[in-house]
């Protein structure tokens, strides 16, 4: 079957030309200082900030993973996508402190609030996590897309997985190295438009092939449209006795997202990601002031409402098409001979829709959107990682380094990350279960970061000893869980003895374990801080609500108006409407 026609290839070629052309136009601007290179000279407008935040979040792994989740579990994952309200927290709560402090990185803000040790710990953890998760998972999902859309592609003995991954990594690396955050942000803004438009086309053509929205609900049933999943599977309500093996327990929990975890744990992960992660917040830091940073964050909140409808719903459409038998090829891919869903194949839901539903010509637009998702995600992590290393490590080791040296170091670090990305390809391609394994990493590393940032802003009494203790304790608990999970998740066939301590740890639902880390970190932060001397309040002026001066409060108030407030209220109302619709 010929998946892409000549017109599709022309559209894809035009997309690459647009990206490289825009990047070249941006790169012509001078990048002589660290502020120019890492924060775009703090000249990013609010729309560029908002679109760039959204594009950084939506990588191809996001598209593939959400569509796959829609095919297997319906709208359960929509909880994470309805975290648009977290961007409002960034806009109204955290942005004033970040912009006032004029920091380059989130760890640098933590140093201002607590101590250099806290900055070092957070920078190190962030760098390792970016390499192990964002780069690795992005390449893996990109490989899935290429393997489905271009299964017969072969170049110099390399299959489509290799060719596509190498091409996108290198092209993304080139404009990220040369143009810094400015090139990344402007190309991401353009890529956001292409991705959203292409995904909307998938939904429209998918519903047309299926027979409309009412047919989708009829085929899948109401449960697939319910956000709130039961705590235990149907048939074993009220008892754990029927769950005999670790595999059965892990299968249920990892695939069904019970409401308790979504209600209490998911917001912790959301607030950490949207409000304290360098990968996201760096775009806001690139704006000229609090006003543009806030409006950019609110704009990103509007964009963030879209994935429920343009990524999760397509996965559900794919399942309905397969289940109804309207497209026999999809039925064969989705279900085994016994009529049971093949969950691994469901991860291909989005590219399958492109292959079987979209006409020639439209496919090129959507494929360009998928490429945009992959490239924007990789560009974001390349740029964030180079900023962290250069400003939090190199500038500390070389305090007298010139601005030119800092920029040069950032480019070298990005080049090294490109090489690491290329080195990841054979590991990712051969690593069974790696994609699922990496999904829990953020849940284990996020709680201590969330605790020290948010509690640190709201409580001036918390000190550096408490913050460092909370970070170390939280990261230790998270890394312990990762160490326990690794032998099982990498597909070696290894299993812990049923009922043993490590077996219990391995089979605690990842959201519940994340909530456990969160509670422990709060206790450690508060207890250690109040058992030791308070911080010098004059040194943290403007970094907590209690230490803001009257002038700072007045300045922050003057940075927003009624339009900003109304826009935020509209976002909240849209979220409430979505929850009401998908709640039964």
Q: Which is more confidently placed, 247 or 95?
A: 95
Q: Which is more confidently placed, 156 or 126?
A: 126
* Average pLDDT, integer, range 51-65: 77
Orientation angle between helical segments 213-220 and 160-210, nearest 10 degrees: 100
* pLDDT at residue 309 is higher than 60: yes
| Helix/strand/coil for 229 | strand
**Cα distances (angstroms) measured from residue 64 to each of 69, 236, 303:** 9, 31, 18
Show Cβ contacts of residue 35 under 8 Å, excluding neighbours closer than 6 positions. Answer: 41, 42
Distance CA 371, CA 4 (A): 14
* pLDDT at residue 483 is higher than 70: yes
Model pLDDT, residue 117 = 92
* Average pLDDT, integer, range 467-479: 93
Tell me the pLDDT tens digit for each residue of 370-416. 777 777 777 777 888 888 888 888 888 888 878 778 878 888 888 88
* Average pLDDT, integer, range 4-24: 82
Tell me the pLDDT tens digit for each residue of 66-83. 888 888 878 877 777 888
Q: Which is more confidently placed, 435 or 428?
A: 428
Distance CA 145, CA 165 (A): 10
Closest CA to 443 of 257, 250, 269: 269
Closest CA to 343 of 252, 409, 213: 252
* Average pLDDT, integer, range 422-438: 54
Local confidence band at 567 (pLDDT 50, 70, 90 cut-offs) = very high
What is the four-CA torsion angle of 337, 339, 344, 349, rounded to 10 degrees?
A: 110
* Average pLDDT, integer, range 24-34: 67
Backbone Cα Rg of the chain: 23
* pLDDT at residue 106 is higher than 50: yes
Least confident among 146-160, 355-369, 421-435, 536-550 = 421-435
Least confident among 48-52, 70-74, 101-105, 150-154 = 150-154
Closest CA to 141 of 335, 385, 420, 429: 429
What are the phi and psi torsion angles at 2 (to 5°)?
-85, 110
Beta bridge partners of 258: 229
Under a CB-based contact definition with an 8 Å cutoff, are residues 453 and 512 in contact? no
Tell me the pLDDT tens digit for each residue of 209-234. 888 888 888 888 777 888 766 655 54
* Average pLDDT, integer, range 23-27: 74
- Which of the given ranges, 136-150, 432-446, 488-502, 556-570, has the highest pLDDT on average? 556-570
Q: Give this prediction's pTM.
A: 0.81
* pLDDT at residue 419 is higher than 80: no
Average pLDDT, the chain: 80
Distance CA 347, CA 113 (A): 42
* pLDDT at residue 354 is higher than 50: yes
Distance CA 271, CA 405 (A): 34
Model pLDDT, residue 235 = 46
Distance CA 445, CA 439 (A): 11
CA distance from start to end of the chain: 40
Model pLDDT, residue 526 = 96
* pLDDT at residue 54 is higher than 90: no
- Return the CATH fold of 6-37+59-233+258-439+549-581: Sodium/glucose cotransporter (1.20.1730)
Show Cβ contacts of residue 393 under 8 Å, excluding neighbours closer than 6 positions. Answer: 123
Distance CA 570, CA 131 (A): 36
Q: Which is more confidently placed, 262 or 459?
A: 459
Distance CA 363, CA 50 (A): 27
**Full 3-state SS string of 378-419:** HHHHHHHHHHHHHHHHHHHHCCCCCHHHHHHHHHHHHHHHHH
Q: Which is more confidently placed, 238 or 566?
A: 566
Model pLDDT, residue 434 = 46
């Amino acid at each position: 079957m010929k998946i892409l026609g000549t017109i599709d290839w022309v559209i894809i070629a035009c997309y690459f030309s647009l990206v490289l052309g825009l990047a070249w136009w941006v790169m012509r601007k001078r990048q002589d200082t660290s502020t120019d290179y890492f924060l775009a000279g703090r000249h990013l407008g609010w729309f560029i900030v908002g679109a760039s935040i959204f594009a950084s979040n939506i990588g191809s792994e996001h598209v593939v993973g959400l569509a796959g989740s829609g095919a297997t579990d319906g709208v359960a994952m929509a909880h994470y996508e309805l975290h648009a309200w977290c961007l409002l927290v960034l806009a109204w709560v955290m942005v004033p402190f970040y912009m006032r402090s004029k920091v380059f990185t989130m760890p640098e803000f933590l140093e201002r609030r607590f101590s250099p040790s806290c900055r070092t710990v957070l920078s190190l953890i962030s760098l390792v996590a970016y390499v192990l998760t964002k780069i690795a998972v992005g390449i893996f999902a990109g490989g899935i897309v290429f393997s489905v859309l271009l299964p017969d592609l072969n170049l110099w003995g390399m299959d489509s997985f290799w060719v596509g991954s190498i091409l996108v990594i290198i092209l993304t690396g080139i404009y990220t190295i040369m143009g810094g955050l400015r090139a990344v942000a402007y190309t991401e803004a353009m890529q956001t438009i292409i991705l959203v438009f292409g995904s909307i086309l998938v939904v429209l053509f998918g519903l047309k092939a299926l027979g409309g929205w009412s047919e989708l609900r009829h085929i899948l049933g109401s449960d697939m449209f319910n956000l709130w999943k039961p705590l235990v599977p149907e048939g074993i309500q009220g008892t754990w006795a029927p769950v005999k093996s670790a595999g059965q327990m892990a299968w249920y929990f990892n695939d069904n997202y019970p409401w308790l975890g979504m209600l209490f744990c998911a917001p912790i992960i959301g607030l950490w990601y949207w409000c304290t992660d360098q990968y996201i917040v760096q775009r806001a830091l690139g704006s000229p002031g609090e006003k543009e940073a806030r409006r950019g964050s609110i704009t990103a909140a509007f964009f963030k409402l879209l994935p429920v409808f343009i990524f999760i719903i397509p996965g559900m459409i794919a399942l309905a098409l397969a289940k109804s038998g309207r497209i026999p090829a999809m039925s064969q891919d989705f279900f085994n001979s016994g009529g049971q869903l093949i969950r691994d194949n469901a991860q291909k839901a989005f590219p399958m829709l492109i292959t079987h539903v979209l006409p020639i010509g439209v496919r090129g637009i959507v494929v360009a959107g998928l490429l945009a998702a992959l490239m924007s995600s990789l560009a974001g992590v390349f740029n964030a990682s180079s900023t962290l290393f250069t400003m939090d490590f190199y500038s500390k080791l070389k305090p007298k380094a010139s601005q030119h040296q800092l920029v040069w170091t950032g480019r070298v670090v990005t080049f090294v990350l490109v090489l690491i990305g290329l080195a990841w390809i054979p590991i990712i391609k051969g690593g069974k279960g790696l994609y699922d394994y990496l999904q829990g990493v953020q849940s284990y590393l996020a709680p201590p970061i969330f605790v020290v940032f948010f509690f640190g802003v709201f409580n001036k009494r918390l000190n550096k000893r408490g913050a460092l203790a909370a970070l170390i304790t939280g990261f230790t608990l998270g890394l312990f869980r990762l160490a326990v999970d690794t032998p099982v998740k990498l597909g070696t066939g290894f299993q812990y003895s049923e009922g043993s301590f490590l077996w219990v740890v391995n089979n605690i639902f990842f959201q519940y374990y994340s909530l456990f880390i969160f509670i422990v970190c709060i206790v450690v932060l508060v207890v250690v801080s109040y058992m030791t001397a308070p911080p010098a309040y004059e040194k943290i002026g403007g970094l907590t609500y209690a230490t803001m001066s009257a002038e700072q409060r007045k300045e922050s108030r003057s940075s927003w108006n009624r339009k900003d407030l109304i826009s935020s209220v509209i976002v909240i109302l849209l979220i409430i409407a979505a929850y009401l619709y998908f709640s039964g």
